[in-house]
């Protein structure tokens, strides 16, 4: 299955955040999320496992009780139901992979 960038589903889940559903199939989904500098997503959990790859910029990322600065080229593994949150330290882009798929992102 092929996915064209210009046909991707685009959402604005929060002010200063653009989420693009890049591809999905089977039990996997990939998204590209663009953040304006200073934008934060509050602590949250979900049943999905997640891997995040920092494609551009840098973030302050909290995973459970641990907070680190991650930058372009870094990645994070987030197990199911672990609290996490993020703040963009500059204009930044993260590519996220989820399993199972985030059905809520396809609505």
- List all residues 6 or more positions away from 100 whose beta carbon is below 8 Å from its beta carbon: 27, 29, 47, 48
Residue 107 is predicted with a pLDDT of 84
The parts of the chain modelled with pLDDT lower than 70 are: none
Q: What is the dihedral of CA 35, 37, 38, 42, to 10 degrees?
A: 10
Q: How far apart are CA 36 and CA 101, in angstroms?
A: 25
**All domains of the chain in start order, with CATH:** 5-106 (2.60.120.10)
- Summarised one tens digit per residue, pLDDT across range 69-79 is 999 999 999 99
Return the pLDDT at 50.
Answer: 99
pLDDT of residue 19: 98
Give the position of tokens 């907070």: 67
What average pLDDT is seen over the chain?
97
- Residue among 95, 99, 31 at smallest CA distance from 59: 95
């Amino acid at each position: 299955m092929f996915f064209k960038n210009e046909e991707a589903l685009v959402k604005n889940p929060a002010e200063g955040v653009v989420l693009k559903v890049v591809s999905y199939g089977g039990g996997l989904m990939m998204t590209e999320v663009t953040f304006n500098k200073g934008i934060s997503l509050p602590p949250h959990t979900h049943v999905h496992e997640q891997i995040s790859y920092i494609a551009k910029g840098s973030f302050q990322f909290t995973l459970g009780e641990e907070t680190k600065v991650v930058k372009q080229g870094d990645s994070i593994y987030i197990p199911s139901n672990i609290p996490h949150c993020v703040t963009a330290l500059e204009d930044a882009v993260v590519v996220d992979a989820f399993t199972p798929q985030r059905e809520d992102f396809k609505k």
